[in-house]
Each structure stands twice: as structure tokens, then as C-alpha cells.
Chains A and B, each alone.
Chain A
Amino acid sequence: MRTAFMSLARAMVKGFVRDRQAVFFSVFFPLMFLVLFGGVFSGQSTSRINLVEVGNVTIFHQLPRPEQAAFRAAFDVSKSNDLTASLEQVRKGDADAALQQVGHRVVLHFSRADQVKSSVAEGTIQGFVQAANLAATGRPPTYTFATEQVEDKSLKTIQYVTPGLLGWAIATSATFGAAATLVGWRRSKLLRRLRLAPVSTRAVVGARIGVTLLIALVQMAIFIGLAVVAFGLQLTGYWWMAVPLVVCGTLSFMALGLLAGAISKTVEGASALANIFVLPMAFLSGSFFPLDNAPGWLDVVSHLLPLRYLNDGMLDVMVRGDGPGAVVTPIAILVAFAVVVIVVASRFFRWDAD
């Protein structure tokens, strides 16, 4: 039975690799987007804050070295000695905030025009002031300073787009692969032919799942490899927890593909249906743009889609620095989704094309 499994898997891998269209749409096409986002829009940080230092704000120069580095990462600091001109800059939006030190008072001038940046600046500066207070006591801090929080919210484009586009790529290949295989095998009667061979259903289904997972993990390796090497993607500690996440996501999308394949009569119909499933899902699940500022209804809708959970889970562990616990809920939801969809698909399943 092992040999049957292996030879079926080998046949499927060859079938995929030789299908230029499938390889293009599941690997190269999403990679083109990665290159586009990573290459063209790189360096655009979504919320690095322009800060005008008015006069000399001494407490920040006395910060311990790691905090200073964090400060520079969070803020783009320019110097000025003219308070009036600096405030005008903030008012016009040329700068996000102006910072001034009067004796022991640190004053932050901000504009309501960009509430997000001003509140981030406010919270951050407050944190730094507290850190400076702590440093002034000369005692080692009891609690470590959460500078990373600030950095992680200001994800560079590549940090954000890599998990999202990877999610889209995996959804595409798993859904289309399952749909096309099911319809193709049914039409060519290969499905029936295999039924008349002494090979267990487990071996056939297992080989298909194994090959789809293999393809998804290869996609993941290519995406992350390229993003790290070429575009400076920085992975956070538990990024490898994205592997089980990708495995479960792939199962969900395979289930979706099987549903498309079970309903459709032709390969063309199946891939059209898979498209109808995948493309809107990719848009709504934040594969192409962040959902942080999305309206509430969109947020609700996207939480009905498996890709949203895969994308969010990958973002959490790959670039936001969350621990392994962050993938538990997404994994549970993805598996549950796969089970439900498989049950529905099996109700539509037919052995024959007619």
C-alpha cells in the first residue's frame, strides 16, 4: 500500500509540475505581486512618525542605548530651534508632532488631523518618559520596556504583504488543484478506474492531501525565502508556527476545491467556481491590503472566511512577534471549516460525469 501511495503521489507531483498554467498561477503570479509590493513600495513604512525636536530634549539623549535605538526606529527626528515654525509644520501636516522640553516637563505638540499618528506618538513618548524616569533612579527596571510593541505596529510593507500574499497563493493552488483533479479524474473515469484497482481510498486521498501540502510548503519556502533575502523581511521568533497554520489552511482550501469540483461538471466550470471562491476571499481577507481601517461590516464578513484566519495567524507569528498561542484559534477554526465543507462536498459527490 505504501508503494501505491508513493506512486500515486509521484504521478500527481509530475502532473502538477508539468502543468505550466497551474505552476504560474500558484507560484509565479503571487510572487509577481510580492516583488511589486516588496520592491516598488519598499521603505514606505506605514506609521513611522515625523517628529520635530524643538530645542534640546535632553532626556532622550540620556536614555539607555537599546531604548535610544527603539526611539530612532519609531520616530523620524528632525531638529528645529523655532517653536512657532515647528508648530506650523505640525498644523500643516508636514510633521506629525513636535517635542519640546521645558525644565523637567516634556511637551508634545500634535494635530488632530491624524489621530492615529498623534495618539501613537503620545503613547510612545509617554513610554519613553517613563523609561527615562526609571533610568534616572539608577536602578535596574523591574519590568522590561515594551519598545517592540511600537515597532510591530509600524509594519513595513514587506512585513505586511508577505503573509497575505502567501495566504492567497496557498488558497489558489489548494483550491484549484483539488477542484481540477476531482473533475478531471471524474471525466476521464480515472476515479472509477482507481475504484477497480486494489488500492485503498485512504491511499488515494492521502496522496492527494500529501501532494497539496507539499506544494503549499514549497510555496511558503519560496515566498519567505525571497522576501527575506531580496526584500529584507524580518521574521519574528515563532514564525515557524506558521507551518502548522499553513497545513490547516491548505486543508480548508482543499475542502473548498473539492466542493467546487463536486458541484461542477467540467474542468472549466470547476476553475471558474474556484475563482469565485478564492478571489473575493483574498480581497476580503486582507491579502492585498491591510484590514486595520476596514469598515465593521467588512471585518465581520472577512471573519467568515478561512483565509482571514490564515492571514491573521501568519501575521501574528511571522511578523508581529506573537507566541505559539496565537495560532491555536486560527487552526481550530480552519480545521472546523475544512470538516464542515468536506461534509457538504460529500453530499454533492458523484463518481460519474453524467
Chain B
Amino acid sequence: MGEIIAVSELRKTYGDLNAVDGVTFSVATGEFFGILGPNGAGKTTTLEIVEGLRKADGGEVRLLDMSPWPRNSRLLPRIGVQLQASAFFERLTAREQIRTFGSLYGVSGAKADEWLDRVGMSDKADTRTEKLSGGQLQRLSIACALVHEPELVFLDEPTAALDPQARRNLWDLLSGLNEHGRTVVLTTHYMDEAEVLCDRVAIMDHGRILQLDTPAALIRELNAGVRISLERSAIDPGDAARLPGVERVETDESSVLLATHEPAGVLAELASRDALAGLQVKSATLEDVFLTLTGREYRA
């Protein structure tokens, strides 16, 4: 698999602010690549430079072996973009929107309608975009980004401002996008989203990439162990601390929390004492990785 995107030492400053501060990464063809970070981390600016919407102050971007800046009309038909806001024409229906976008790429009306179906928007085809819900707008705007079957598609926070249910519904759609060798680059500030969808994740903050790897590797490297949570009444905290393998015990009003790197042994011990009431086992998440990397709470 070749590299479809190669970014090196990208820089962009706005006044005193280093919005992008020496970012380097590459994306392989067919990969689902995530850029994860809180608002203001520099994700969108990075993406906009890679797409060719902004000029970098320094560094280099190669996209399909071409430079996206200045505006490159040979590159444009091969990439698809979904911008953060829902960029639509005023007062057009969903079908008219996707057909208009399709025609900009020379896509027929029938092909455009197919995409409406693929994102589950057929029943809203004759509804004006002003009347669509947030989730429906995102689906339509993803369809508009993909209507010309681009090899590479950029999605900028496609699930921002959606309720959890709509967000999970959209994941089903998103997770199939990199079939047939299409490359997807996604920015998000949701940890769980990056974990579920992405092959590799770059964690960004303050304009820098802090770490870049598969979600599993990032978590493994963290070596954060496992947290076992029990009902408060299940075991005496003092007893729990003396169990072999338990490193730390925390308590609150309703539960006891055991931290360990040897969950199997601890669980067997607990089972033998019949102290499994309210059992929950949590392994580390990207959130823990972020916390460790930045030393602060995640500000979504």
C-alpha cells in the first residue's frame, strides 16, 4: 500500500498563535486515519491545509503525489471534502443539493440519487435542507462529499453537535466508507469515535502531534492496566488491597475500585470469595492516553 498523503513539518501561525506547529504524518491508501484532539488543537487548520484551502507557512504537503496549493484542478475530482459547517445551497431539497454537487463533478442525477439512498436519506429527498435535523444534514453532507466516488475523502468532525444516538448511527455509515480501497481522513474530538472507526490515530494538542499509532497500540503503550469496579458492599477495601496483584484501591459511596495489571488473577481471587457483586471491568481508553499525554482532563 502506497502513501496517499505525506505531510512534513507543517506550520501555520495566526499572529502569536502557532495553530499548526511542525506536524508530520503520512496516510496509506485505504486507511481510515483519525486526527483526534480537543477544540483548538489545530485539527481543522491541519486538514484545511492538506485539502488545499489554506496555504501553509512552512512544510510540505503531497496529496496523490500532487501539491494541493495553489488550487489544483487535477487533484480536486479525486478528493471529497466535508467541511465542518453544512455547506449547502439555500432553500434546495436534499435531492437538489446532491444533484447540484454531483453535476459539479459531472455525475448524473441517477448516480447522485443512489448516494442519497446509501446514506439513508431517500425518504427525505424532497425536504429542504433548512428542515433537516443535524444528523440528517451530516448524512447529506457526507453523501455530497462522496457523490463522485473520490479516492480520498476528508471528514471534518462529522459527528460534532449530534446527540449520542445520532452519533452512533452515523458510525455505521462511516465505518464502511473505506471499503474498496478508499482512504478516509477524519477529525474528531470524541475518543470513542476514533477508537471505533480509525485504523490509526494522531493525537493532537496545541498544534502538535503528541502520538500517532493504532488505537490498540496507543492504549497498550500506556500500560494503564485494568480497573475492576465492585459494589461498595462486595468487599472490604482493606481486604481488597491485600489481594495479590491489586496495586491501588479507591472507594466512593457506591463502589470499590481496584487497579491492576493482572486482571485474571484478581478476578479469580474475587470469584473464590464470592465478591463479584456489581462487577465491571474497564480497560484503558484513548481518553486515558490523552490524559497521560497532556497531563490534564480532556476538554472536548
Contact at A188–B86, with CB atoms within 8 Å?
A: yes
A127 CA to B169 CA, complexed, in Å: 87
A188 CA to B91 CA, complexed, in Å: 13
Q: Is the CB of A125 closer than 8 A to any CB of chain B?
A: no
Q: Is the CB of B4 closer than 8 A to any CB of chain A?
A: no
Contact at A188–B87, with CB atoms within 8 Å?
A: yes
Contact at B88–A197, with CB atoms within 8 Å?
A: no
The answer, among A12, A15, A187, A198, for a CB contact under 8 Å with B104, is A198
The answer, among A15, A184, A196, for a CB contact under 8 Å with B53, is A196
Q: Is the CB of A4 closer than 8 A to any CB of chain B?
A: yes
- Interface residues of B toward A: which range? 20 to 34
Q: A7-B103, A11-B92, A11-B100 are in contact. Are A193 and B73 (CB under 8 A)?
A: no
A199 CA to B105 CA, complexed, in Å: 8
Contact at B89–A15, with CB atoms within 8 Å?
A: yes
Residues of chain A within 8 A (CB-CB) of B79 are 196
Q: Is the CB of B101 closer than 8 A to any CB of chain A?
A: yes
A187 CA to B88 CA, complexed, in Å: 10
Shortest beta-carbon distance, B80 to chain A, in Å?
A: 9
A258 CA to B227 CA, complexed, in Å: 60
Q: Produce 1/0 per residue, A1-39, CB < 8 A to B.
A: 001101110111011001100000000000000000000
Contact at A11–B51, with CB atoms within 8 Å?
A: no
Shortest beta-carbon distance, B269 to chain A, in Å?
A: 57
- Interface residues of A toward B: which range? 20 to 34
Q: Is the CB of A153 closer than 8 A to any CB of chain B?
A: no
Q: Is the CB of A92 closer than 8 A to any CB of chain B?
A: no
Residue of B nearest to A200 (CB): B73
Q: Produce 1/0 per residue, B87-110, CB < 8 A to A.
A: 111111000100111011110000
A193 CA to B104 CA, complexed, in Å: 11
Shortest beta-carbon distance, B75 to chain A, in Å?
A: 9
Residue of B nearest to A191 (CB): B87
Q: Is the CB of A189 closer than 8 A to any CB of chain B?
A: yes
Residues of chain B within 8 A (CB-CB) of A6 are 103
Contact at B86–A15, with CB atoms within 8 Å?
A: no
Residues of chain B within 8 A (CB-CB) of A3 are 103, 106
Residues of chain A within 8 A (CB-CB) of B71 are 195
Instruction: Point out which of A4, A7, A15 has the most chain B C-beta atoms below 10 A from its C-beta.
Output: A7
Q: Is the CB of B134 closer than 8 A to any CB of chain A?
A: no
Q: Produce 1/0 per residue, A185-212, CB < 8 A to B.
A: 0011110111111110000000000000
The answer, among B76, B89, B100, for a CB contact under 8 Å with A196, is B76
Contact at B86–A14, with CB atoms within 8 Å?
A: no
Q: Is the CB of B66 closer than 8 A to any CB of chain A?
A: no
A76 CA to B84 CA, complexed, in Å: 72
Residues of chain A within 8 A (CB-CB) of B91 are 14-15, 18-19
Residue of A nearest to B82 (CB): A193
Q: Secondary structure at chain A's binding surface: helix, strand, loop or mixed?
A: helix
Contact at A190–B89, with CB atoms within 8 Å?
A: yes
Contact at A193–B81, with CB atoms within 8 Å?
A: yes
A195 CA to B72 CA, complexed, in Å: 10
Q: Is the CB of B77 closer than 8 A to any CB of chain A?
A: yes
A7 CA to B52 CA, complexed, in Å: 24
Contact at B101–A197, with CB atoms within 8 Å?
A: yes
The answer, among A14, A192, A197, for a CB contact under 8 Å with B96, is A14
Residues of chain B within 8 A (CB-CB) of A196 are 51-53, 76, 79, 81
Contact at B76–A188, with CB atoms within 8 Å?
A: no
The answer, among B81, B89, B106, for a CB contact under 8 Å with A11, is B89
Q: Is the CB of B173 closer than 8 A to any CB of chain A?
A: no
Shortest beta-carbon distance, B284 to chain A, in Å?
A: 36
Residues of chain B within 8 A (CB-CB) of A195 are 53, 71
Residue of B nearest to A3 (CB): B103
A8 CA to B101 CA, complexed, in Å: 9
Q: Is the CB of B83 closer than 8 A to any CB of chain A?
A: yes
Residues of chain B within 8 A (CB-CB) of A193 are 81, 83, 87
Shortest beta-carbon distance, A297 to chain B, in Å?
A: 42
Residues of chain A within 8 A (CB-CB) of B100 are 7-8, 10-11
Contact at A198–B76, with CB atoms within 8 Å?
A: yes
Instruction: Point out which of B51, B85, B86 has the most chain A C-beta atoms below 10 A from its C-beta.
Output: B85
Shortest beta-carbon distance, B48 to chain A, in Å?
A: 8
Shortest beta-carbon distance, A171 to chain B, in Å?
A: 22
11 more CB-based (< 8 A) A-B contacts, given A7-B103, A15-B89, A195-B71: A3-B106, A4-B103, A188-B85, A188-B87, A189-B83, A193-B81, A196-B51, A196-B53, A197-B104, A198-B76, A351-B53
8 pairs, CB–CB < 8 Å, chain A vs chain B: A7-B104, A11-B96, A11-B100, A190-B88, A190-B89, A194-B104, A196-B76, A198-B104
Nearest 3 pairs of A and B residues by beta carbon = A7-B103, A193-B87, A198-B76
A contact set with B: CB distance below 8 Å: 3-4, 6-8, 10-12, 14-15, 18-19, 184, 187-190, 192-199, 351
